[in-house]
């Protein structure tokens, strides 16, 4: 795992504390959605098909801070929608950083340079932009349905790095991708753009996404990633995932979903059971934990989970399994 040392140490200390307190369920990272509106309309997106009145709503900064305080998670990924369209997004980020939360601001990057003068972001080891890049130019532009999207995202990454910000990326892969697509985009991000870390995900089959034909099944995901990671390439890339989660994507190990580890908080409240599915909402994280039948979710238990290999369900399982194994802990520290 190529997580910075400060972050690794703080997350390790947080996990040890949960163990000492004998907490069975606790959040590692919150998927925070302070708005649903977006300036793009990607074909695989399951987040922007809301009624107009919902798309107009913005979460007050204090509400987001209170949710983070109540759950106690050390990390937060701010998504949406496009978070840069939230008028107080810089205030929210700065206040979370002041509370020493590790903040990842997920963006399609179209507004970074255009609206830069509106923002008051400051570089910090606790703050990273996470830019959505699904492939090289043609592939990415098709994925986000926007010609020029790739070029603007690349310019925004250079712009942010030149101003001292940490920049990570997030890439989602579909059945229309080949192992070579994955290799090409990761080589480009790792070696040419030199982003700090990269995340990847097989696309989740959102019921409402406009393109229903290109969501990969489990066997397709295994084939895609095992070929892309072959010949030692996996070790070369600065991937922001635990080695066990990458083994899981390749099909070398299998384990269950731990959705309570990466819960989702949106304008509607804490979403049951995860970022990808919405079986109702609760007002507090505690209520979410206590009133959700966690054993009824995951592959083999709920049809909607059948093809899910998303990090929000399986990265926490990998992290907890790593913590419980000396061999895996050493492997994670070495980034093997
Ligand atoms: S940029 Fe993100 S939120 Fe916006 S449409 Fe694309 S996937 Fe959905
Ligand atoms: S497997 Fe877990 S993370 Fe995936 S959709 Fe089901 S509950 Fe959510």
Along the 336 residues of the chain, how does pLDDT read in single tens digits?
A: 456 778 888 898 999 999 999 999 999 999 999 999 999 998 888 777 888 999 999 999 999 999 999 999 999 999 989 999 999 999 999 999 999 999 999 999 999 999 999 999 999 999 999 999 999 999 999 999 999 999 999 999 999 999 999 999 999 999 999 999 999 999 999 999 999 999 999 988 777 777 777 788 899 999 999 999 999 999 999 999 999 999 999 999 999 999 999 999 999 999 999 999 999 999 999 999 999 999 999 988 999 999 999 999 999 999 888 876 666 666 665 565
Distance CA 190, CA 292 (A): 39
Ligand nearest to the CA of 261: 2
At residue 172, φ and ψ (nearest 5 deg) are -110, 135
Among residues 157, 154, 135, 138, the alpha carbon closest in space to that of 146 is found at 138
**Protein residue whose Cα sits closest to atom 5 of ligand 2:** 305
Model pLDDT, residue 331: 65
> CB–CB of 294/273 below 8 Å?
yes
Sequence-separated (6 or more) residues with CB below 8 Å from residue 8: 1, 333
Task: Report how far ligand 2's centroid is from the alpha carbon of 299 (Å).
Answer: 8
Q: Which atom of ligand 2 sits closest to the CA of residue 302?
A: 6
255 and 318 Cβ atoms separated by less than 8 Å: yes
Angle made by CA atoms 48, 49, 50, in degrees to the nearest 5: 95
3-state SS, 269-319, equals: EEEEECCCCEEEEECCHHHHHHHCCHHHCCCCCCHHHCCCCCHHHHHHHHH
Kindly state the greatest CA–CA separation across the chain.
52
Radius of gyration of the chain (CA): 19
**Cα–ligand 2 centroid distance for 306 (angstroms):** 9
Question: What integer pLDDT is reported at residue 45 of this predicted model?
Answer: 83
Domain ranges of the chain: 5-334
Cα–Cα distances in angstroms (integers) from residue 249 to residues 45, 63, 201, in the given order: 21, 35, 9
Ligand 2 atom closest to Cα of 262? 3
- Residue carrying structure tokens 């995951």: 298
Closest ligand 2 atom to residue 312 Cα is 3
**Burial environment of residue 9 by CB neighbours within 10 A (0 to 12, 13 to 18, 19 or more):** exposed
Q: Return the closest-CA partner of residue 312 out of 274, 286, 285.
A: 274
What pLDDT was estimated at residue 323?
A: 75
- Ligand number nearest to the C-alpha of 172: 1
Q: What is the CATH number of domain 5-334?
A: 3.20.20.70
- CA–CA separation, 30 and 33 (whole Å): 9
Cis peptide before 222 (omega within 30 of 0): no
Contact 267, 59 (CB under 8 A): yes
Centroid of ligand 2 to alpha carbon of 36 (angstroms): 20
């Amino acid at each position: 795992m190529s997580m910075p040392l400060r972050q690794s140490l703080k997350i390790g200390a947080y996990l040890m504390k949960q163990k000492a307190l004998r907490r069975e369920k606790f959040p590692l990272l919150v998927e925070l959605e302070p708005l649903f509106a977006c300036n793009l309309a990607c074909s695989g997106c399951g987040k922007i098909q809301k009624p107009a009145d919902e798309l107009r709503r913005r979460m007050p900064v204090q509400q987001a801070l209170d949710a983070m305080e109540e759950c106690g998670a050390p990390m937060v990924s701010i998504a949406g929608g496009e978070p840069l369209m939230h008028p107080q997004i810089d205030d929210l980020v700065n206040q979370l950083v002041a509370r020493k939360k590790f903040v990842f601001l997920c963006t399609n990057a179209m507004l970074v340079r255009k609206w830069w003068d509106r923002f008051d972001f400051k570089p910090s080891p606790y703050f990273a932009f996470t830019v959505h890049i699904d492939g090289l130019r043609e592939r990415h532009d098709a994925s986000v349905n926007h010609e020029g999207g790739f070029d603007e995202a690349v310019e925004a990454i250079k712009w942010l790095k030149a101003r001292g910000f940490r920049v990570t990326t997030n890439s989602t892969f579909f059945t229309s991708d080949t192992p070579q697509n994955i290799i090409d985009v990761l080589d480009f991000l790792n070696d040419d753009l030199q982003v700090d870390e990269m995340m990847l995900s097989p696309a989740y089959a959102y019921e409402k996404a406009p393109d229903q034909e290109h969501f990969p099944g489990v066997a397709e995901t295994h084939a895609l990633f095992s070929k892309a990671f072959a010949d030692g390439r996996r070790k070369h890339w600065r991937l922001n995932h635990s080695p066990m989660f990458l083994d899981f994507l390749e099909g070398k190990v299998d384990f269950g979903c731990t959705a309570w580890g990466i819960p989702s908080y949106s304008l509607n409240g804490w979403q049951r059971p995860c970022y990808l599915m919405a079986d109702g909402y609760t007002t507090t994280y505690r209520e979410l934990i206590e009133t959700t039948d966690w054993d009824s979710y995951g592959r083999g238990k709920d049809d909607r989970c059948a093809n899910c290999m998303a990090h929000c369900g399986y990265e926490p399982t990998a992290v907890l399994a790593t913590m419980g194994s000396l061999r895996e802990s050493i492997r994670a520290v070495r980034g093997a």
